[in-house]
Amino acid sequence: MTQEMNSSPPNLFINRELSLLEFQRRVLDEALDERNPLLERLKFLAIFGSNMDEFFMVRVSGIRKQVEAHIMEVFPDGLTPPDVLAAARKTSLELYGDALHFFNKKLRSKLDKAGVHLLDYSRLSNVQLEKVNAYFNEVIYPVLTPLALDPGHPFPHISNLSLNLAIVIRDKKGHEKFARLKVPDTLPRLIPIKRSSGGVRKDGTIPHHHYFVWLEQVIMANLAPLFPGLEVVAAHPFRIIRDADVEIQELEADDLLETMQQSIRKRKFGSVVQAEIHDTMPQNIRELLIENLEIRENDVYILPAPLGLSSLWQVYGNVERHDLKFPVYHPSVPKLFENATMAGDIFDLIRERNILLHHPYNSFSPVIDFLRAAARDPNVLAIKQTLYRVGQNAPVVEALLEASERGKQVAVLVELKARFDEESNIGWAKMLEEAGVHVVYGLVGLKTHCKVTMVVRKEGDGIRRYLHLGTGNYNAVTARIYEDIGMFTCDEAMGADVTDLFNYLTGYSTKQHFKKLLVAPINLRVGLEKLIRREIEHAQNGRHAHMILKVNSVVDPQFIQLLYEASQAGVKIDLLVRGMCCLRPGLKGVSDNIKVISIVGRYLEHSRVFYFLNNGREEIYMGSADLMRRNQDHRVEVVFPVESKEHIDYLRHGMLATYFSDNVRARVMKPDGTYVRLKPPSESKAVDIQEWLMKNNLGVKKS
C-alpha cells in the first residue's frame, strides 16, 4: 500500500449507507426518465418507496442502535454513527422531496392525459361520489376502529408501515380531544372506480380510462359517523416505520425454527425509526406523536401527500395498458430443450455439455424441468438443494415434494434467516418436513445464501452427479425480472465439491479444501484474493492485466484496498456495481485504473461475474457472493468456474463487453460517490445492454 493510503484511509472510502442512498437516487432517476413508459415510471417510483422503507427498517435502525448504545465506532470512511444518521436524514429528505414533487407536479398530470386517473376525493364527479360513498358505507366503515387517546385510553400500538389518521375532535363544550384511526391495510390503498372507454385512437383501438381514489381521503371525508355528537375538526395522515432487523441468538436456541417464529413476532413491536407526517399536521399534534411514539424530532419526516409511495404498485398491477408499459418480452427456451420430453432426456443433454442459462432472457423453465425430471426419473436416487428465497408460489418446492412422494431421498437446506422471507420459508420448511423431506436450517451463525442443486443418478457406468449452480434464487417469479445466470454441469470435480458442501451443510463435516469451487466462509476470500494478486503479478511483470467484476455491492475494506493495490500496479479494473460501492474510482495515484459503472433498468442486475485476463488464459467465475464482509465471512456462498470456451466468449466478449458499451442505462461513478448518466451520441449509436440481451441472448453453447 502507498503511504497516502495508510495515512488517510477515510479519504479512500464512501460511506455504505450514503452509497445505498445513491442507489435509491438512481432508481428514482428511472422514474424521472421520460424515455421510460408512463406506468413503468410509476413502478420505479413504487420501487423507490419500497426501497426507502427497507432502508429505514434495516440500515437506519442498525445505526440508531449503535448511537443509543453509545458506540462511537469510526467507520472506514471516517464518519461516526451520529454523522451517518445526520447525513442520511439530509439525503433522504432530498430524495423524498424530489420523488413527491415529481409525482404531484408532473407524473399525475401525464397519467391523467393517458387515461390513468389517481383522483383526489374532491375531484370526484357526482356519479363517482355516489359510488365511492356507497363503497365507504358497505365496505370501509365496518372495518374502521377509531381509538381515543386520554387517561382511560392509552396510546395504541401502531403497526409497521401502517398509514394512520391523527384526528382532532371537539365536544359540545368546546374541548378538543385526539383519536387515532388506522387506514385498513386489508383494503386497496387506491380504490378502483369503474373504468370507462376513451376516444378512438388513430389505429382504431379504444383505450380504457382507469379511475382510482385514495382510501385515506375517502375516510377523511366520511369521519362524522365515527364520532356521533362530536365535531371532527381535522384529520392528518401519518405513517410509521419500525425496526425490522431480526436479531437471532442462535447459540442459545434449541429450535431455530421456533426461535425464528418468536423473532418474527417481536419484529411487529420493533422501535419506531421513522414517522412520516403529512405537512398539514400542526405542531401540537406532532409533539403528541413524538412523545407517545418515543422518537426524536430528527426521526420525523414532514412530507406532502401521498405518504407511502410503495402503494403505487397497486396501480401498475391493476392497469392493463400495454401501451404504457415496456413491450411484453417472452424469454427464450433454448432449442436443445425442445426435444427433452422424457424424464431422462435432460440428463442426456447435460452429460453431453455444460449448459448456461441467462435469465430473464432465457426462460427459467429448464430449471423447473430439471427438478421435475429428477423427481420422475426412476434412475434418480437423491436430490439435494439449497433454498433462500423461493416466494409464495414455488414450483421448485412442488418438484421436491413430488420427488419425496416417489421415494427419492430428498435433502433441502431452507434458510430461515432470509430477511422478510422468514415466514414464507418457515411455511415451506414445515411442508417439506411433513412430506418426509430431510430439512435442515443451515449453520449456526451463518446464512446459507448459495444457489446449488445436486441430482444423484444411477447410470450404466456408475453413479453420476448432475448439478445446477447459479447466481440467483430458485424463484420462478423473480427469475422473470432479475438478471441472473445459471449453469448445468455433471463435471466430476464440481460434483465431488458439491457433495462435500452438502455434507458441510447438513452434517458435521469440517471440509477445508475444494477442488474447483470457492466456498465462503472457507476458501472464497482467499481464492478471490489469489486471483486478484495473480493479475497484480502479471502487471508487475509487464504483461497486460485486466479484471472485470460484476457484482451487486463493493463494501469490504480488504477487497477495496486490494483493488487499489492492483490499480497502482497497473491492472485495468472495470467494476459493474449495481448497488453500494464504497470504493472511490479515479483517485490520482490510488485508483486511476479503476472504472465503476452502474446499470439500473427494466431488469434488476443480480448476477455476480468475476473475469480475469490471466495473460490471455482467460478465467471466469460466477456465483452468489458480493464483495461484502457478510458474503465473505458470515454466509455460505458458492462461486464456481466457467470452463467452456464458448461460454467464456459469450460472457466476456458478448455480455460484459456490451455492459461497458452501454450509453443508455449506464451511470459512471465519480470519485465523490455521485454518478453521471451517459448519453448516446445519437439514437443510432445508442447501446442499451438489456435491450441488446433481449435480442442477443445466450441460447445454448456447447462445451
CA dihedral 596, 599, 604, 605 (to 10 degrees): -40
Which among 297, 324, 351 is the end of a domain?
324
Q: Is residue 329 part of a domain?
A: no
Please list, in sequence order, all residues whose beta carbon lies within 8 angstroms of the beta carbon of residue 696, skipping any fewer than 6 positions away.
654
Q: Is residue 27 part of a domain?
A: yes
C-alpha cell at 74: 469510526
Taking the model in full, what pTM does it have? 0.94
Q: Is residue 160 part of a domain?
A: yes
Please give the pLDDT value at position 628. 97
Please tell me the distance from the alpha carbon of residue 320 to that of residue 317, in angstroms, as a whole number.
Answer: 8
**Which string of DSSP letters, residue by residue, matches 572-604?**
EEEEEESS-B-B-TT-TTTSTTEEEEEE-SSSE
Q: Do 596 and 550 belong together in one domain? A: yes
Please tell me the distance from the alpha carbon of residue 438 to that of residue 135, in angstroms, as a whole number.
Answer: 49
Q: Is residue 330 part of a domain?
A: no
2 pLDDT exceeds 50?
A: no
Please give the pLDDT value at position 1. 44
List the single range of 54-63, 193-202, 400-409, 525-534 with lowest mean pLDDT.
193-202
Give the ranges where 268-384 is alpha helix by DSSP (H): 283-293, 313-318, 345-352, 365-376
643 phi and psi angles, rounded to 5 deg: -110, -15
Q: Tell me which H or E stretch contains 241.
A: strand 231-242
Please tell me the distance from the alpha carbon of residue 449 to that of residue 473, in angstroms, as a whole number.
Answer: 9
488 pLDDT exceeds 90?
A: yes
Q: Identify how many contiguous H helices and E strands the chain contains and give both numbers.
A: 22, 27
548 is in which domain, residue-wise? 518-695
Q: Is residue 700 part of a domain?
A: no
Please tell me the distance from the alpha carbon of residue 359 to that of residue 639, in angstroms, as a whole number.
Answer: 18
Q: Tell me which H or E stretch contains 259.
A: helix 256-267
Please tell me the distance from the alpha carbon of residue 207 to that of residue 197, in angstroms, as a whole number.
Answer: 6
Q: Do 83 and 196 belong together in one domain? A: yes
Q: Which residue has the cell 374532491?
A: 122
Q: Do 123 and 251 belong together in one domain? A: yes
Nearest-CA neighbor of 453 among 434, 435, 472? Answer: 472
Omega before 306 within 30 of 0, i.e. cis:
yes
What percentage of the chain exceeds 70 in pLDDT?
Answer: 95
Q: Is residue 513 part of a domain?
A: no
Please give the pLDDT value at position 243. 94
Q: Do 347 and 319 belong together in one domain? A: no
Please list, in sequence order, all residues whose beta carbon lies within 8 angstroms of the beta carbon of residue 671, skipping any fewer than 6 positions away.
584, 585, 586, 587, 591
Please give the pLDDT value at position 203. 66
Please tell me the distance from the alpha carbon of residue 134 to that of residue 247, in angstroms, as a whole number.
Answer: 46
Q: Do 366 and 310 belong together in one domain? A: no
Please give the pLDDT value at position 285. 95
Residue type at 415 in one-letter notation: E
In the set 278, 449, 468, 546, the catalytic residue is: 449
Q: Do 542 and 448 belong together in one domain? A: no
Residue type at 465 in one-letter notation: R
Please give the pLDDT value at position 292. 94
Q: Do 46 and 144 belong together in one domain? A: yes
Please tell me the distance from the alpha carbon of residue 489 to that of residue 5, in angstroms, as a whole number.
Answer: 43
- The angle formed by the CA atoms of residues 46, 48 and 52, to the nearest 5 degrees, is 120
What percentage of the chain exceeds 90 in pLDDT?
Answer: 82
Buried b (16+ CB within 10 A) or exposed e, 475-499: bbbbbeebbbbbbbbbbeebbebbb
Question: How many other C-beta atoms can be found within 10 angstroms of the C-beta atom of residue 445?
Answer: 10
- Cα separation values, 208 from 123, 129, 130, 351, 392, Å: 19, 20, 21, 52, 31
Q: What's the whole-number mean pLDDT along residues 89-104?
A: 98
509 pLDDT exceeds 90?
A: no
User: Residues 558-577: pLDDT tens digits?
Assistant: 999 999 999 999 999 999 99
**Which string of DSSP letters, residue by residue, matches 354-404?**
-EEEEETTB-SHHHHHHHHHHHH-TTEEEEEEEES---SS-HHHHHHHHHH
Give the ranges where 60-186 is alpha helix by DSSP (H): 61-68, 81-102, 108-114, 126-135
What's the structural domain count of the chain? 3
Q: Do 311 and 372 belong together in one domain? A: no
Question: How many other C-beta atoms can be found within 10 angstroms of the C-beta atom of residue 420?
Answer: 14
3 pLDDT exceeds 60?
A: no
39 phi and psi angles, rounded to 5 deg: -70, -25
Please give the pLDDT value at position 700. 39
Q: Which residue has the cell 434449541?
A: 254
Please tell me the distance from the alpha carbon of residue 51 to that of residue 46, in angstroms, as a whole number.
Answer: 9
User: Residues 641-673: pLDDT tens digits?
Assistant: 999 999 999 999 999 999 999 999 999 999 999
- Length of the chain, please? 703
Nearest-CA neighbor of 414 among 435, 439, 377, 382? Answer: 439
556 pLDDT exceeds 80?
A: yes
Bridge partner list, 483: 605
C-alpha cell at 34: 421520460
Question: How many other C-beta atoms can be found within 10 angstroms of the C-beta atom of residue 100?
Answer: 18
3-state secondary structure of 635: strand
Q: CA neighbours within 13 Å on the CB side: how many for 573?
A: 31
> 663: burial class by Cβ within 10 Å (0-12, 13-18, 19+)?
middle
Rg (C-alpha) for the chain, rounded Å, is 27
- Cα separation values, 703 from 489, 614, 648, 656, Å: 10, 20, 10, 19
Which among 481, 506, 531 is the end of a domain?
506
For the chain, the average pLDDT equals 92
Please list, in sequence order, all residues whose beta carbon lies within 8 angstroms of the beta carbon of residue 157, skipping any fewer than 6 positions away.
269
Residue type at 583 in one-letter notation: L
- The angle formed by the CA atoms of residues 44, 46 and 49, to the nearest 5 degrees, is 110
Q: What's the whole-number mean pLDDT along residues 534-544?
A: 98
Which CATH number goes with the domain that contains 304? Answer: 3.30.1840.10
Q: Is residue 547 part of a domain?
A: yes
Which CATH number goes with the domain that contains 454? Answer: 3.30.870.10
Per the CB < 8 A criterion, the answer to whether 689 and 662 are in contact is: yes
Q: Which residue has the cell 436456541?
A: 253
Which among 285, 300, 324 is the end of a domain?
324
Q: Do 528 and 471 belong together in one domain? A: no
Q: Do 258 and 294 belong together in one domain? A: yes
Please tell me the distance from the alpha carbon of residue 377 to that of residue 239, in angstroms, as a whole number.
Answer: 53
Please give the pLDDT value at position 469. 99
C-alpha cell at 565: 493495490
Nearest-CA neighbor of 485 among 374, 644, 663, 668? Answer: 644
Q: Which residue has the cell 430528527?
A: 298
Please give the pLDDT value at position 167. 97
Q: Do 568 and 536 belong together in one domain? A: yes
Confidence grade of residue 703 (pLDDT, cut at 50, 70, 90): very low
Per the CB < 8 A criterion, the answer to whether 692 and 658 are in contact is: yes
Q: Do 468 and 532 belong together in one domain? A: no
* DSSP conformation class of 678: -
List the single range of 140-149, 226-235, 340-349 with lowest mean pLDDT.
340-349
Omega before 360 within 30 of 0, i.e. cis:
yes
Q: Is residue 190 part of a domain?
A: yes
Q: What's the whole-number mean pLDDT along residues 209-236?
A: 96
User: Residues 577-625: pLDDT tens digits?
Assistant: 999 999 999 999 999 999 999 999 999 999 999 999 999 999 999 999 9
695 pLDDT exceeds 70?
A: yes
* DSSP conformation class of 75: P
Omega before 521 within 30 of 0, i.e. cis:
yes
303 pLDDT exceeds 90?
A: yes
Please give the pLDDT value at position 205. 63
User: Residues 396-440: pLDDT tens digits?
Assistant: 999 999 999 999 999 999 998 878 788 888 899 999 999 999 999
Task: Establish whether 449 is a catalytic residue.
Answer: yes
262 pLDDT exceeds 80?
A: no
Please give the pLDDT value at position 7. 40
Please give the pLDDT value at position 699. 56
